[in-house]
Amino acid sequence: MNLLELIASYGYAAVAVGCLLEGEAVLLLAGFAAHRGYLDFAAVIAVASVAGFAGDLFFFWLGRRHGPSLIARWPALLRHREKVDGWIARYRAAVIIAVRFTYGFRIAGPVMIGMSSTPLSAFVLFNAIGALLWATLFTGLGWFFGEAAQRVLGHMHHLEKWLALGIFSAGLIFAAFRWWRARR
C-alpha cells in the first residue's frame, strides 16, 4: 500500500484521533491532502470538529468529576485555576472558544473550565462553536499551503510524496516538541 492509498484509507481516522488531543499539525496535513484531492475538505472539517468537540467535552467532564483529586495530584493547577476562574467569570464564551487556540491550555483549559461553575449547556454551545472555528481555520491553512505549494512547485508531481512526507515529519516533530514542553 503506497502513501496515497494510506491517506485515502485512514486519513479521516487519523484526523479523528489527532484532533481528540491536539490536532493542529494533523489538520494542516489533512487540509493539504484535501487540496490534492485525497480527502474531502468539508468531511475533514466535520470529523475534526466532532473529534475536537468530543475531546474537550471529555476533559471538561474530567475536571467536573475529578477536579479535587487532580488538584491534589498537580498542585500547580490551583495557581492557574484562580486565574482561569477570573477569566471565565468575565469572558465565559470567549474563554471557552479561545482555549483550544491557546498554547499550553488545549487540555488543561477544558479541565479547569470543568472545575468552574460553568454550566454544561454553556460549555457545550461554545465548545461546539470553538471546535468548528478551529477545524475550519487549520484545515483552511493546510488547504492554502497546498495551493501555495502547487503554485511554487508547478507541475512537479513527482515531489508530492516527498513534500507530504516532509510535512508529516515536521508535524510529528512539532507535536513531540509540544509534548516535551508540556511535560517540563
What Cα–Cα distance (Å) separates residue 147 from each residue in 13, 34, 51, 140? 24, 11, 26, 10
Digit-coded pLDDT (tens) for 69-117 = 887 887 777 777 777 788 888 999 999 999 888 877 778 889 889 988 8
Domain residue limits at 24? 3-183
What total of structural domains would you count in the chain?
1
Tens-place pLDDT, residues 129-183: 999 999 999 999 988 887 776 666 565 566 666 777 777 788 788 888 888 887 7
Which letter does DSSP use for residue 102 in this model? S
φ/ψ of 38, rounded to 5, equals: -85, -30
Cell of 100: 483550544
What three-state secondary structure class fits 119?
coil
156 phi/psi in degrees, rounded to 5: -95, 65
H helices of the chain, in order, are: 3-21, 24-35, 41-73, 76-98, 108-115, 120-153, 160-183
